[in-house]
Chains A and B, each alone.
Chain A
Amino acid sequence: MPMVRSVESRVDDVRAVVRAARAVVDRRDALAPAIVESTGLSSAGVELAMTRHLELDPTDDELRRLVAHAGDASSVAVILSANVFVGALRAIAIARAASTRIVVRPSRRDPTFARALVEAVGDPAIVLDEALDVAAVEAGELHVYGHDSTIADVRARARPSVRVLGHGSGMGVAWISARADLASAARGLAEDVIVFDQRGCLSPRVALVEGPAERADVFAEALHAELERQGVLVPRGPLPADERAASDRYIATMTYACRALVGSDHAIGIAPPGAPMVSCPAYRHVHVTSCATEDDARALVAPLARALVALGSDDEAAARRLAPAWARVSALGHMQRPPLDGPVDLRDPT
């Protein structure tokens, strides 16, 4: 008969993972060069992620919620993605809450942090297998983090006896309400944009500004100044050639259509009033558009809804009205710092 683990026992196991993450952060100087190399983030970007975007001080209540969310599994194989490297903490914490037998396969491109974390935990229940073949997993759960195509591939290869939970691609949207202080909102949103060079599934890509077009203009200017200021402190990593092309295309499109504000390490496109949504790249690009009402905002983001996993706002009540049921809602400046209470992406993973 399998041993039943109490909630407290699971919480303790998760706490051990968090303690290990603290230890990894304490020796981050040794790890940072490898993470810079593999993620393409700048050194300051890696430092920012490790010191501000790892959930090292969860409350008991948050951990209990995480344990409740994790459920119970005979074993869990965790397939991690690259780039948002600190995501390994949450992924392993959830797996540990769910099971006493965990195998972690770090991203081939970006194994450093996950490898260090598993070693630091020193928990025999958690083993690293960098060559894990998902098709060889016979039972339990597979927790897959990454792009939708990766998840689809894992689902196709997994055995029928294995439950696959996929946490795929997503994006964030910011709602700047009519009562927002624009300077403060711009500061918060810039913080959310800069971390991970906007490559996280919570990263805000679109800012909806309640009010007339002129207000969106003022907000965009403030955001431009903030991104410039914060970009000096945390420079963007080098832009790959194809991303440079996407950036140039977006900037040219927005320049023609209305206005683009181009900074050293970022760009903001200001959409003409009433214009539909168009493609906006990651890597510190923000599409700013005015919305006369919340209904306008809802209609505008409707095509993006299935991928919308985070909504940040100065008015969280309004944001909740705009957000899909699964989206995390937070204050601006906190979109990339969700509590350690479950997966960052709360969409149905099955």
Chain B
Amino acid sequence: MHARARAFVDAFERGDAAPDFDALACDLARYQAEHAPGFARLCSARGIDPSALARADHIPAVPTDAFKLTRVATFDESETAVTFRTSGTTVGARGSHAMRDTSTYAAAATAFGRRWLARDLTRPIPVVVLGPSPEAVGDSSLGHMCAGFVRAFGESARPEETWLLADDILDLSAFDARVATALAKAQPMLVLATSFALVHLIDAVGDATFVLPPGSRVMQTGGFKGKSREVPAERLRAELARVFAIDERAIVAEYGMTELSSQFYERTLFDPASTHGVYAEPPWARVVPVDPDSLAPVPEGEEGIAKIVDLMNVDSAVAILTQDRVRRLPGGEGFELFGRAPGAPPRGCSIAIDELLGRG
């Protein structure tokens, strides 16, 4: 199954047509129903016979909450190579995503990251991560992905010159030193950062600027999670463009989550026709807006909850149900992301437990 999933990545990198999406999605669903009893139960409860599946749309989606309650995996715990965990909140449970083979994940992440962040680069460039090192947070899928980008796109540098956030404190002097060297060598930089780290940076810089070399770009991901003040996306982007003296289009948002093995990117860096808030999907993942009640796909152009079929989730759940609101654009242009569904409005004085658990 991993080899078949990798074939999508290889074809993408060669510029070849992708293999049959539905065929692999359905085979993965059958495989997962056979090896993950929870998924078999879910299929049964939905009245779906995995052996009869023919379309990815028909695969029952596993809600992301299931990753908090139980192991979503097709393999024995002893075979686990790494377990990624959601960042969670102060009180909420953390979701876990176990993998026994991270090479498929890494290949897909790097291939699609290169497409939307680094396809124009002809040689390694300075890459800095405004986030903690994988040694500090070994269970972070984001850290794992960033480490892959550092290896794939970055020039050689010491870890302390690359990973610039420790205990939520940003090492601005190390960042400054990397920028100075890059400016002297006229090298563009790639900055990988969480939204809250970028807010800390903006707050630290104030009205001053932190000019990046020409051609630099920023990948921004994740929310604020109570670690900084919340800043609307447009304002954050405008502030970053001012501080870094780069075009707003060079600030690229990434959408991903621990429960997935694939990521989605804004296309603004390389596609002049694209706008912020619109995300590209790789040929191995589909974002399907579904009606939150019926779970049926909504008509094109309508907003729904994101059901994501991810062929790289070989050993976990090929289809997951998020709580994010999305809308597909016509003509395979990708999808718009509107953020977390607000949940049912409160009725009566019974509390929404989500509020207590932080919706993490």
Contacts and interface: CB of A to CB of B under 8 A. Distances in A.
Interface of A: 40, 81-84, 87, 145-149, 167-171, 196, 198-201, 203, 205, 240-246, 248-260, 271-272, 275-282, 302-304, 306-307, 345
B330 interface: no
Contact of A244 (B65, B293, B349, B359): B293
Nearest to B61: A252
Nearest to A147: B346
Contacts of A243: 344, 347
B92 A303 contact: yes
A199 B346 CA distance: 9
B343 A200 contact: no
B357 A170 contact: no
B19 interface: no
Given A82-B348, A249-B65, A253-B69, 7 more contacts: A168-B349, A242-B343, A253-B63, A275-B70, A280-B353, A282-B348, A303-B92
A201 B353 CA distance: 12
Nearest to A249: B63
Given A272-B70, A275-B70, A279-B65, A307 B356 contact: yes
Contacts of A253: 63, 65-66, 69
B69 A271 contact: yes
A276 B345 CA distance: 24
A31 to B, nearest CB: 19
B249 to A, nearest CB: 36
B353 A169 contact: no
B293 A256 contact: no
Contacts of A307: 351, 355-356
Contacts of B91: 302-303
B41 A276 contact: no
Given A248-B293, A256-B39, A279-B357, A82 B70 contact: no
Contacts, number: 153
Interface string B223-247: 0000000000000000000000000
Interface string B333-360: 0000000000111111111111111010
B349 A199 contact: yes
A65 B308 CA distance: 56
B351 A170 contact: yes
- Among B61, B293, B344, B347, chain A packs the most CB atoms within 10 A around the CB of B347
Nearest to B317: A256
- Among B45, B293, B295, B357, chain A packs the most CB atoms within 10 A around the CB of B293
Contact of A256 (B63, B344, B352, B354): B63
- Among B39, B295, B345, B352, chain A packs the most CB atoms within 10 A around the CB of B352
B86 to A, nearest CB: 12
14 contacts: A147-B349, A199-B347, A199-B349, A242-B344, A245-B292, A245-B293, A246-B343, A252-B62, A255-B42, A271-B69, A276-B69, A279-B353, A282-B350, A307-B356
Given A245-B293, A249-B321, A303-B92, A282 B357 contact: no
Contacts of B349: 81, 83-84, 87, 145-147, 167-170, 199-201, 345
A147 B348 CA distance: 7
A205 B63 contact: no
A278 B357 CA distance: 7
Contacts of A168: 349
Nearest to B63: A253
Contacts of A148: 351, 355
Contacts of B292: 241-242, 245, 249
Given A252-B321, A257-B38, A169 B346 contact: yes
Contact of B357 (A254, A257, A260, A277): A277
Nearest to B89: A303
A255 B45 contact: yes
B68 interface: yes
A273 to B, nearest CB: 10
B350 A203 contact: yes
A171 B353 contact: yes
Interface string B28-52: 0000000000110110010000000
B93 interface: yes
Contacts of A83: 347-349
